[in-house]
Amino acid sequence: MSNIALKDVKPQKETLFESWVYRIPALLFETESKTLLAFAEQRRSEDDSSAKNLVMKKGKLKKDKISDVRTIEWSDFKLLEEAHLEGHRSMNPCPVYDKTQKTLFLFFICVEGTVSEGWQRKHYINKARLCYITSKDLGETWSRLTDLTDQLGEIKTWATFAVGPGHGLQTESGRLIVPTYAYTSSCSSCCFFCYKKCCKCNDPYALSLYSDDSGQTWQFGKMLQKESIECEMAEIFYDKDKSFIYCNARTKGGYRMEAVSVNEGKAFSMLNRVEKLVETGSGCQGSVVSFPAQNEGAGGNPSQNKNKWLLFTHPSDKTSRINLGVYLNKSPGDPNAWSKPWIINEGPSGYSDLAYIGDGWFVCLMECGEKKETEQIASVVFSYNKVNQGIGE
- Return the pLDDT at 42: 96
State pLDDT tens for residues 354-383: 999 999 999 999 999 999 999 999 999 999
Amino acid, res. 292 = P
18 among known catalytic residues: no
The pLDDT value recorded for residue 249 is 97
Closest CA to 204 of 275, 309, 128, 300: 128
Catalytic residue among 22, 210, 327, 351: 351
Active site residue 370: no
* 94 pLDDT higher than 60: yes
User: Model confidence at 100, in pLDDT bands (50, 70, 90)?
Assistant: very high
pLDDT of res. 280: 95
CA contacts within 13 A on the Cβ side of 52: 10
Bridge partners (DSSP) listed for residue 111: 89, 128
List 30, 41, 48, 279, catalytic entry: 48
Q: Is 205 a catalytic residue?
A: no
pLDDT single digits (tens) 219-278: 999 999 999 999 999 999 876 678 999 999 999 889 999 999 999 999 999 998 878 999
47 alpha carbon, distance to own chain's centre: 20
- Determine the pLDDT at residue 390: 95
- Among candidates 371, 369, 353, which has minimal Cα distance to 40? 353
* From 367, 373, 375, 384, active-site residue: 367
H or E element that contains 117: helix 117-123
Q: Average pLDDT in the 275-290 region?
A: 95
Decide if pLDDT at 147 tops 50. Answer: yes
pLDDT the model gives residue 35: 97
